[in-house]
Chain A
Amino acid sequence: MLIGVFKRPTKTSVLRELVLKEIDDLIIGSIGITAFISLFMGAVVALQTALNLDNPLIPKSLIGFATRQSIILEFAPTFISVIMAGKVGSYITSSIGTMRVTEQIDALEVMGINPLNYLIYPKIIALLFYPFLIAIIMFVGIFGGFLASVYGNLVSLEDFVVGLQDTFIPWHIAYAFIKTMVFGILLATIPSYHGYYMEGGALEVGKASTTSFVWTCVAIIVANYILTQILLTT
C-alpha cells in the first residue's frame, strides 16, 4: 500500500488543499478533547504523587518533577496516541471504508486518479504535524498538574517550579517527539489500510473501525517499548 501512496501523485494544488483540510480535521480538530484529557490527567498525576508522599525526607518538589516526567515521557506521546487511535483512527477507517462501500474509490480510479495517493498521502503528511499537538498536550498536562498541586495547597509554587526544573534532560523531549512522529505515521497508515482494503457493507465499516483501533493500539504499545529500549537504554 505504501508504495502506491507515493506513486502517480495528485495535482499539487489539489494535494495542498487536501493536506490543509486533513491538518484541520486530524490535528486541530483533536486539540480540544486531548487538551481536556491532558489537563485533568496532569492534575491527577500531581494529586496521586502528592497523596503518596508521606515521608518528610522526600522534598515536595518531587510533585513537579513526577508530573513533568510522567507527562513528557509517557502520558503525552503514548497515552494520547492511544486516544487518537480511537478518535482519528476510527474516523480515517470509517471515512475511507464508506468511500469504498459506496464506490467513491472506484470512481476516483475510473477517473484516472490514484486513490491511495489522493486519500492517504494527505493524512500521512498531516500527521507529521502530530508533534505540534503533543507539544501543546505536554504544556497543558503540566499546567493541569500545577493547578491541582499549587491551588490545591499540596505544594508551593516555588517547590513545584523547582521540581519541574530538577534534573531536566533535553534528550527526553527529543525521545518523546521521535516517538510521536512514529506514532503519527502508525495513526495515519494502519487505519487507512483497514479502510481502503475493507470489503462488504455498512456493518463491515464498523467492524473495520474496531479492528483498526485494536491494531493501531497494539502497534503503538509495541513501538513504544521498542523505541524506549532503543532510545533510552542504550
Chain B
Amino acid sequence: MIEIKNLYKGFNEEAVLKGINATFEQGKTNMIIGASGSGKSVFLKNMLGLFEPDDGEIIYSGESLLDMDIDRKSELRKEMGMLFQHSALFDSMTVEENIMFPLRMFSRMKLAERRERANEILERVNLVNLNKKMPSEISGGQQKRVALGRAIANNPQYLFCDEPNSGLDPKTATVIDQLIQEITHERNITTVIISHDMNSVMEIGETIVFLKDGLIAWEGSNKEIFKTDNEAVTDFVYSSDLFKKVRIAQNEGF
C-alpha cells in the first residue's frame, strides 16, 4: 500500500501539486487520471523519488520515502517496477537482455537461470521467439510488453505505469491493460497507473484518483465515474464524442 499525505511540489515558484492526499491499495489497479498538465507525471515522479517534494509524505507500507537514506531508497527501488510511457527499453540490449537486466543487477542467479526466468516472463506477456530481437526491431505494442516484463522480472511489490497505452491501437491497448490487471491480481502487488485514456479507466480502473490543477478533484472506481455529478470529471469523461453519445443514449433510456 502507498499513502500520500499532503503532497506539495512546484517548479520556479509555480505550484504543480497543491496538497495531495491519496491511498493506493495493494492487489488493485489504482489509476491516476486527469487532463494534460494536471500534474499526473509530477505526482508519479514524486512517488518514485525522482523528484523531491516541497512538502508532504509518501509512505510505502508504513515507511516514509522522505525519511529513507539513499541506501534504503535503493533497496526500496528494487521492489519497484516501472513501465514507462515510451517503454524506455535499453536499445543496446536484446529483448531477453532487457528482461534479464534487473535480475543480473540484483540477484545471484546464474545466466541459465536468468534465461529461464526471462523465457517464463516472455511467455507471461505473450511474447515468444523474440528473445534475440533488438527493441528497434519489434512493434510499439511488443515493446510495451517487453517493458512490462522487465518491470515485473524482479517480482516487485509496487508496479508503476506511465500512460501504458499511449501510441497503441485500441486492441493492443486492451491487451496491455488486461495484462497489467492480471499481473496485479496474480502477484497481489500495488499498481499505480497514470492515464488519460477512458477506455483503460473503464477496463481496469479499480480505484481512480482524478487530478485537476494539482489537486484531487474526485476519487472513486470505474463503476462510479460515469454516475458522478462532479463537473470536472464529467467535463473530462465526456470530452470525447463517443462517450458523449453513450451519455445521450443513457439519458434517452437506451
Contacts and interface: CB of A to CB of B under 8 A. Distances in A.
Contacts of A113: 105
Interface string A107-130: 101111110000000000000000
B84 A111 contact: no
B5 interface: no
B70 A103 contact: no
B104 A110 contact: no
B77 A106 contact: no
Contacts of B10: none
Interface stretch (A8-16, A49-57, A161-169, A182-190): A8-16
Interface in B86-104: 86, 88-91, 101-102, 104
A107 B105 contact: no
On chain B, which size bracket covers the interface?
20 to 34
Contacts of B102: 111
Contacts of A103: 84-86, 88
Question: Mostly helix, strand, loop or mixed at chain A's interface?
Answer: loop
Interface in B51-72: 70-71
A48 interface: no
A106 B74 contact: no
B105 A10 contact: yes
On chain A, which size bracket covers the interface?
10 to 19
B112 interface: no
Given A102-B91, A104-B90, A8 B74 contact: yes
Contacts of B160: 110
Given A8-B70, A11-B105, A109-B50, A102 B78 contact: no
Interface of B: 48, 50, 70-71, 73-78, 80, 82, 84-86, 88-91, 101-102, 104-106, 160
28 contacts: A8-B70, A8-B74, A11-B105, A14-B104, A102-B86, A103-B84, A103-B85, A104-B90, A104-B91, A106-B82, A106-B84, A107-B88, A107-B90, A110-B48, A110-B50, A110-B77, A110-B80, A110-B160, A111-B77, A111-B78, A111-B80, A111-B102, A112-B73, A112-B74, A112-B76, A112-B77, A113-B105, A114-B74
Given A104-B90, A106-B84, A112-B76, 9 more contacts: A102-B86, A106-B82, A110-B48, A110-B160, A111-B77, A111-B102, A112-B73, A112-B75, A113-B105
Interface of A: 7-8, 10-11, 14, 98, 102-104, 106-107, 109-114
